[in-house]
Chains A and B, each alone.
Chain A
Amino acid sequence: MNLMEPCCDKCHNTLANPCKDYIACRTEGPLCHESAECKAKLAEARDKLINGNHDLVIRIGMSTCGLASGSQEVYNALKKELDLRHIDADLMRVGCMGHCYAEPLVEISKRNSTSVLYGQVKAAAVPKMIEAYLNGDAQGVMAVRARKGTLKGEEGVPIFEELPFNKGQYRDVMVNCGVINPDSIEDYIAHGGYRAVTKVLTQMKPEEVIATVKASGLRGRGGAGFPTGLKWDFCRAAKGDLKYMVCNADEGDPGAFMNRLAAEGDPHRILEGLIIAAYAIGATHGYIFVRAEKLQMARRFMTAVDAAQRYGLLGDNILDSGFNFDVEVMLSAGAFVCGEETAMISAIEGNRAMPRPRPPYPATSGLMGKPTTINNVETLAHIATIILDKEYFTKVGTERSKGTKVFCLAGKVTRTGAAEVPLGTTIRQLIFDIGGGVANGKKFKAVQTGGPSGGCLSEKFLDLPLDYESLQSAGSIMGSGGIIVLDEDTCIVDTAKYFLNFTTAESCGKCTPCRIGLKRIHETLTRITQGRGTVEDLDQLKSLGASIGNTALCALGQGAPNPTLTTMNYFRDEYLAHIQEKRCPAHVCADLIAYKVEPSLCIGCGLCYRNCPIDAIRFEEVFDEQTKEVAKKPVIDSEKCVRCGSCFAICPKHAIIRE
């Protein structure tokens, strides 16, 4: 039977007449009557959800990251292989465990056997992988869940939890990601879901919920780090016949994907947090504002809302508590400025996403002028745990930054992915221990935290603990938790220019400092990368940046000069090299580098000639000083050359010199 079905005709739960014990009954029940048969039925349904319908369960990471690495093909190949071998198995599409670098990730588990994980699985390799697994061979296995001795050679395979990427992680938001079927509310409930909603609606007053969240020390995970309990308190206290509860799922930072990952892997956890928040503030209507381009995330939310409505977890009189709350999934047109809550409110109202000055704060006058609370996906994902087991949440973190945070490792890092670690973990631990350091053995140069409004921190900040205050003191911000690693081949001015290009385009255009000021900064940075900058430019950037930070209307504008200001602060020499020596030390800025052929090293193979995309290389007769001979050698026409570096990269003899 389906876990949510009535066990027998004694069950009186219906949508019109809900039972307050509905969820508890599914996990411990039946509660209203004694029946061994019903108990067994429910237990069996739960067991099937947790351990699978079949002996063999195969989980495939099919979040956006998985799909992008080809997990759909792997899924098809697995299905075909199982059909060929006439094997009955559960083939489960699950979310991402955060190991994006290892996608497509496949986990095969079997009762009483060693569960194994395969990383970077290719569709073509699936038959071989299944063959080996069925033969009890640990060949090709990335990690095992626990060694149970059923596989040949499993002793040499690392335990999953002990993988360097997992070390130091502490999972709350992502605990179900990659484990449960995100489209199944039953699966979530079998794994303990909606118990927090039950507890809140049946045993707690809204004030108690707020007090619990306040006591947990949870702070907004969307960027500013405002205490969540306090935010709820303001909204609860605000007068209004109607209140709104909004989930911000409009993640838009380059290099940040923790919200997408959490929503794609475990959407009901977020929905549960949203229901609890609504109950706490007294909202009856809710919105999940999600980017239309993050299709899978939006679909998961829609499926989750549908399911919750079907079982009476959304709608009127939820769990017979008298509390009414319904949610609409709203697709956003995709504007970074929607991270600013007043802009998002404007967008939900159907207007152009433009922030307005605060006060009034949304807590008193938000959506349609009604009291509104907006919480980030990750903030809401913590709520259920805080309600059920506050200790688990408060055990980790620092004095002022409690709990865990999902950080996204991107850029030039060996292992890209999302890692949930206690706040206060150092940048070094995150990048080097978990992320495996800089990719391809290159030297670490800097790390951009907090997205385009954050700052670029140099090596001396590697031991900085990741918490709200420490990052701020270094001139950066927590933001949504994006960690973009830059290596020695990255030009710092070019990086600042990249972020300014982003914010210039994403500015809503309303206020002068952001709309025009950022453009002027971008122009100046462009001049510097072209070798046309002056030392006075640096002074002007500094004062203009500070002025924008002081006068811009919203956080987008106020934070946008940060990448420029921090890079100028921590990498002044590199700026000066561009300005005074007309040199780009990282050899990135096209106007400041040149390629030429060293004839004595050149063997005349012609690879550079054939690979030049714009025919800037021709063969000419060149007199070789060493051999005293005239030979045909390639020559690069520096007028034509676009400095793409193709020749430099392809030359087998390193005869192309970059200067």
Chain B
Amino acid sequence: MVKLTIDGITVEVPAGSTVLEAARKANIRIPTLCSYEGISSIGACRLCVVEVERMRNLPTSCTLPVSEGMVVRTNTPQVRDARRTVLQLILSEHPADCQTCSKNQRCELQRLAYELGVREVPFKRTPLNKTIHNESPYVTRDLNYCVLCGRCVRVCSEIQSVNAIDYAFRGYNSEVNAPYDDDLATTKCVSCGQCVLACPVGALSERSHIQGVWNDLASNKLTIVQSAPAVRAAIGEEFGMKAGELTVGKLLASLRRLGFKKVFDTNFGADLTIIEEGHEFLERAKKGDLPMFTSCCPGWISFAELFYPQILPRISSCKSPHQMLGALAKSYYAEKVGVDRKDVSVTSIMPCVAKKQETDRPQLSVNGIKDVDHVLTTRELAQMIKEAGIDFNSLPDEEPDDPLGLYTGAAAIFGASGGVMEAALRTVYEVVTGEELKNMDFVGVRGLEGVKEASVEILGNTYNVAVTSGLGNARKLIEDVLSGRKSYHFIEVMACPGGCIGGGGQPILNEKSDRLQRLEERAKSLYALDKDLPFRKSHKNPAIIALYKEYLGEPLSHRAHEILHTTYQPRLSCVPLLASR
């Protein structure tokens, strides 16, 4: 432990901590912009400068390691002046149009300017005049707002190991860009949206599908909506509720108020996924075609298609839950209510940016009509609710519509990393043994760690399973598997750290609360929901049982394959691009 003094307060922290960490421990707030949980500190923004005795200049507290007897001052005229100047410099090239910015009231720069008392910019304001990169259908990059904090770059490389973006050009012309100033969609970008989540300002945002949804709601189409498991544990935060507050009923009510004709639930799709995926796993196990990877996460699918085409045959052919539900809505349900496929509009509320890209996959369309028409992020839905004048907090709790709305606890936990694995194990165990599983909490696969392992014994066979979230962790795991260092039967992969609860489409709040803490709260809520539900195993879902009886037949039947399964394709990123130049 190292003892130091910050603003007269003695703090003791482990050796190797930074001054910023020590200050936080002493409840001293130091403004930061480029620092972000989970990635390295680079000292780029210079907002967190402090005065340290016997050190020249003002070092950045985010990068300065503590040392014994260090005397730090965070609130001196010199420090306040320096911070204000840095902020004013950033503002001197930042568009002053907060009202129409995508991060309005969610912007860290806006909050810092307020907190640091910056009421004027003494420098001549010079707009950057950068191009707005609107080419990618999933992420919009408006570099005019970019403050070059580099959080997106580090998230993309250090957490996701994708490296789709990096710094380009020099000096004042520096910018964060895709290779060759190109469209993100032609790069290795997997559209996970973690960069959007990390962006403190309005430079990165998801492509909005809001208008398309408004249009469909105003049309004669049969508008169907579904929301993903992780949305219900997060959307409350957009309305001032505490982190992880469960808003299942209010969410459904708000969707009805918005005018959707049928409010289904992606959790139903999740239960269905477990049935299909569980049986697929058993099929593969018979053939020795293991390990099998899960397929719920489109960011992960893109990652595999781009970086590990050799493992594509080992990825479950199941569509992701919302795509299953979309496909059923436009086949089974449409037939049932006698509406033509083209007159059905399906909107998915997702904690995810990659789902926007997923719906564009040609494999997920029938006769040119997409199974899911629109994907709204949790943030976009909150926006629509606000625009519609719905008082979310005082909504009554409502129930989903039949027949694609009933779900089990197994589906509820899909939103947290490890949830798919746990849900699958519950079903696989009972299908194989025919006995009832007593303790169905596989706590070994829960939690926020990057890689979790567990072994499950079923009828004398030991199944080794692994659960990973965050693509950097996934990459390490795959390398271990490919090199033979590790051997598993079943592997769950989620692109975003913590799973969908930490998805790229989740609320962005400009308060400086602990991000990981927030994820934990959301996960806790989902596991609580699981415990509360009457059914906790997917194969016990009466609606699912009815669906098979009525329409699909058996799991993995021909019809089930047609509607619920898909294919994958190796993808090249910059390679053809380079060849054409």
Contacts and interface: CB of A to CB of B under 8 A. Distances in A.
Contacts of B85: 513, 517, 543-544, 547, 551
B57 A515 contact: no
Nearest to B41: A357
B30 interface: no
B142 to A, nearest CB: 18
A240 B41 CA distance: 23
Given A550-B82, A551-B85, A509 B58 contact: no
Contacts of A524: 124
A549 B150 CA distance: 22
A518 B170 contact: no
B167 interface: yes
A550 B171 contact: no
Nearest to B65: A359
Contact of B90 (A352, A354, A516, A544): A516
B551 interface: no
Nearest to A352: B167
Interface stretch (A260-268, A442-450, A499-507): A499-507
A544 B85 CA distance: 8
A550 B57 contact: yes
- In this complex, which of A360, A543, A553 has the most chain B Cβ atoms within 10 angstroms of its Cβ? A553
A547 B57 contact: no
A357 B167 contact: no
Contacts of B82: 547, 550-551
Interface stretch (B44-52, B340-348, B521-529): B44-52
Interface in B118-170: 122-124, 126, 147-148, 150, 166-167, 169-170
A547 to B, nearest CB: 4
Contacts of B483: none
Contacts of A511: 43-46
B43 A509 contact: no
A189 B172 CA distance: 48
A510 interface: yes
Contact of A516 (B57, B59, B166, B172): B172
A56 B419 CA distance: 88
A234 to B, nearest CB: 16
Contacts of A356: 42-43, 63
Given A520-B89, A551-B86, A515 B148 contact: yes
Contact of A515 (B42, B123, B174): B174
B57 A507 contact: no
A510 B172 contact: no
Given A357-B63, A550-B82, A551-B57, A506 B170 contact: yes
A558 interface: yes
Contacts of B282: none
A512 B46 contact: yes
Interface string B88-113: 01101100000000000000000000
A51 to B, nearest CB: 50
A490 B486 CA distance: 70
A550 B58 contact: yes
B10 interface: no
B301 to A, nearest CB: 30
Interface string B52-70: 0000011110011100000
A551 B60 CA distance: 8
A50 B360 CA distance: 77
B462 interface: no
B81 interface: yes
A335 interface: yes
Contacts of B46: 511-513, 551-553
Interface string B335-355: 000000000000000000000
B124 A352 contact: no
Nearest to A553: B43
B57 A357 contact: no
B173 interface: yes
A508 interface: yes
A544 B89 CA distance: 10
A523 interface: yes
A540 interface: yes
Contacts of B124: 520, 523-524
A456 B124 CA distance: 26
A191 interface: no
A519 interface: yes
B78 interface: yes
A68 B174 CA distance: 34
A520 B92 contact: yes
B108 to A, nearest CB: 14
A359 B60 CA distance: 11
Interface in A548-563: 549-553, 558
Contact of A547 (B81, B148, B150): B81
Contacts of A510: 42, 44, 148, 150, 167, 174
B78 A509 contact: no
- In this complex, which of B43, B65, B92, B172 has the most chain A Cβ atoms within 10 angstroms of its Cβ? B172
Contacts of B126: 519-520, 523
Contacts of A552: 46
A519 B45 contact: no
Contacts of A509: 148, 167, 169-174
A287 B448 CA distance: 42
A606 B531 CA distance: 99
Nearest to A502: B171
Contacts of A518: 171-172
Contacts of B173: 509
Nearest to A536: B122
Given A357-B64, A510-B42, A511-B44, A505 B59 contact: no
Nearest to A540: B122
Given A504-B172, A523-B126, A516 B92 contact: yes
A508 B89 CA distance: 17
A553 to B, nearest CB: 6
A56 B63 CA distance: 63
Nearest to A522: B172
B274 to A, nearest CB: 44
- In this complex, which of A505, A513, A544, A547 has the most chain B Cβ atoms within 10 angstroms of its Cβ? A547
A520 B121 CA distance: 12
A512 B170 contact: no
Nearest to B78: A550
Nearest to A549: B57
A360 B123 CA distance: 35
A503 B170 CA distance: 10
A34 to B, nearest CB: 62
B72 to A, nearest CB: 15
A508 B86 contact: no
A360 B167 CA distance: 23
Contacts of B167: 352, 354, 509-510
A508 B174 CA distance: 7
A504 B58 contact: no
Given A357-B43, A512-B89, A513-B46, A551 B58 contact: yes
B170 A335 contact: yes
A504 B166 CA distance: 20
Contacts of A516: 89-90, 92-93, 172
Interface in A309-367: 335, 352, 354, 356-357, 359-360
Contact of A507 (B81, B150, B172): B172
A387 to B, nearest CB: 33
A166 to B, nearest CB: 39
Interface string A4-27: 000000000000000000000000
A549 B46 CA distance: 12
17 contacts: A356-B42, A356-B63, A357-B59, A357-B60, A504-B172, A505-B171, A508-B174, A509-B167, A510-B44, A510-B148, A510-B167, A517-B85, A518-B171, A520-B126, A547-B85, A547-B86, A551-B57
Which 10 A-B pairs have CB atoms at the shortest separation, nearest pair first?
A: A509-B174, A357-B63, A507-B171, A357-B43, A516-B89, A547-B85, A519-B172, A551-B46, A505-B171, A520-B123
Given A510-B44, A510-B150, 4 more contacts: A512-B47, A520-B89, A551-B57, A558-B57
